[in-house]
Chain A
């Protein structure tokens, strides 16, 4: 087990209704080799969870372990990497010096450290900019070099807070590919993000937090699957066809200039597709319906509220 927490809580204060503000009774189990997503809106308790796991703050109650060691212990720190949100570094260092600095904190040195620094700078696309000082970095460059410093010790577990923050679409895509590659190497990745759409294709398991409490958790595939629901997506629908489909479908919705119709029965969906084709509509998609993480989240949070 990479991470385990039992009723981990961090209570900062109480709001006007007496409800605790912070993180409340979080119990997690993250298996090794997984990409785990801790998701939720801003202020939901993601960063608090991360700080507790890293030993930067202390729990009010509950406990946790990383690779069987207490949170914040040096035995734990030897095996983890951490990229904070909007990372800050010593401004006077350049990319190469920065990675060397963090490497030496792990006792690395000599050719081993130099080789690792070069490898990582290539990996995050910063080798050509290795002599630029941190104070002259763009947000994206900070993020890239931040990801590199998190990997300096070749960690077994990586904590990444808002990984794609400040990155352009290509940079974000490169980071996603990197994460998947690391997972394939057997690393465990712990992602924190409020960008549910970005996390959906990456995460194996997720926990969704809202106002400090876990409101949904599970394997992503299971969470997204909707039992017995089929979706027919059409374009070029006439008004008459739209009315007919609205009558026959469980529900319909307009998606841009297209129409999505949902059926609980596969044969009903097929019949509707044939009817639509005969009426001159274009069938864009037909198949089992999957929700998005955003829908799962809204459902979970909406249910709570």
Chain B
């Protein structure tokens, strides 16, 4: 049951590293993260904030870019190159194939995020103590940052995997260009899910139609903003693991539904 999934995932992982755009995005991300301390000097007194904003922001943004461009190519490339024919002619179900492709993408993104995370940690470990030393009152906040940054990176993993899932499913439904656009739109609109809830509030004068439309968007769209805990990190607020697990749980639940849709679509698709 699981073996074909892992074999497809492994092949997908190895194939993914041959995609030049992926390597390009990773190198560019490392350059941005690596130079974040230079930008920190642009905002005297808020250097730490700049490093964290640029570092974590880059991990999330470039991770999302990789997820979109990788996810929307995983299955279409197999169909266009006809490698899917020899695989599906073997005892590999379409569900195993879709899940294997997704898992291969998950592993590829994980490695990318780990590399970006290490780059960020190196910059943070070298530069942050210098900036923190200048503001002794922030010492406690600074101490909490290391663990909160780790948590932020863990959340970035799940956020980007969710984007990957959406990209894979979009690619089974639409052409490549359209699936890229759809994934980007869902991602950016999903960042504003809470905003839709506020707009649909009748006490704020929302019409009946606006309540239905915006309320539906709020319920249907993934809430990507929950994965962003940069504010908590900057304020040094303690982010408990229970909160983290709750966020991860929400992401995984959404992912399961997304992959199920992907399977149902691909199961009917002719290759």
A residues near B268, Cβ cutoff 8 Å: 58
Q: Could you tell me which A residues sit within 8 Å of B by CB distance?
A: 51, 54-58, 74, 77-78, 80, 82, 84, 87-93, 101-102, 104-107, 146, 149, 153, 159
**Shortest CB distance B1–A (Å):** 10
B91 touching A149, Cβ below 8 Å? no
B residues near A89, Cβ cutoff 8 Å: 83, 86
A78 touching B91, Cβ below 8 Å? yes
- Other A-B contacts than A89-B83, A153-B90, 16 sampled, CB-CB below 8 A, are A51-B85, A51-B270, A54-B85, A54-B89, A55-B88, A56-B85, A56-B88, A57-B270, A87-B86, A88-B81, A88-B83, A90-B14, A92-B14, A106-B91, A149-B86, A159-B89
A105 touching B270, Cβ below 8 Å? no
- Ranked nearest first, the 9 interchain pairs of A and B with the lowest CB-CB distance are A82-B89, A57-B270, A105-B90, A77-B91, A74-B91, A88-B82, A88-B81, A104-B7, A54-B89
**Shortest CB distance B44–A (Å):** 49
Interface size class on chain B is 20 to 34
A91 and B86 CA atoms in complex are apart in Å by 14
**Shortest CB distance B23–A (Å):** 14
B231 adjacent to chain A (CB < 8 Å): no
B89 touching A56, Cβ below 8 Å? yes
B residues near A93, Cβ cutoff 8 Å: 11, 14
**Shortest CB distance B133–A (Å):** 48
Residue-wise, chain B 75-86 has the 8 Å CB interface mask toward A (1 for contact) of 000000111011
The chain A residue sitting closest to B87, CB to CB, is: A105
**Shortest CB distance A158–B (Å):** 11
The chain A residue sitting closest to B271, CB to CB, is: A56
B138 adjacent to chain A (CB < 8 Å): no
A87 and B268 CA atoms in complex are apart in Å by 24
B18 touching A84, Cβ below 8 Å? no
A residues near B90, Cβ cutoff 8 Å: 77, 102, 105-106, 153
B271 touching A57, Cβ below 8 Å? yes
Secondary structure of the A contact surface, majority rule: loop
Would you list which residues of chain B between 137 and 179 have a CB under 8 Å from chain A? none
A104 touching B3, Cβ below 8 Å? yes
B residues near A104, Cβ cutoff 8 Å: 3-4, 7
B residues near A56, Cβ cutoff 8 Å: 85, 88-89, 270-271
A residues near B91, Cβ cutoff 8 Å: 74, 77-78, 105-107
A77 touching B89, Cβ below 8 Å? yes
**Shortest CB distance B201–A (Å):** 47
A87 and B15 CA atoms in complex are apart in Å by 17
A92 touching B15, Cβ below 8 Å? yes
A59 and B225 CA atoms in complex are apart in Å by 45
A–B Cβ pairs within 8 angstroms, 20 of them: A51-B85, A54-B89, A56-B85, A56-B270, A74-B91, A74-B93, A77-B91, A80-B89, A82-B86, A84-B82, A90-B14, A101-B7, A101-B11, A102-B90, A104-B3, A104-B4, A105-B7, A105-B87, A107-B91, A146-B86
B245 adjacent to chain A (CB < 8 Å): no
A residues near B86, Cβ cutoff 8 Å: 82, 84, 87-89, 102, 146, 149
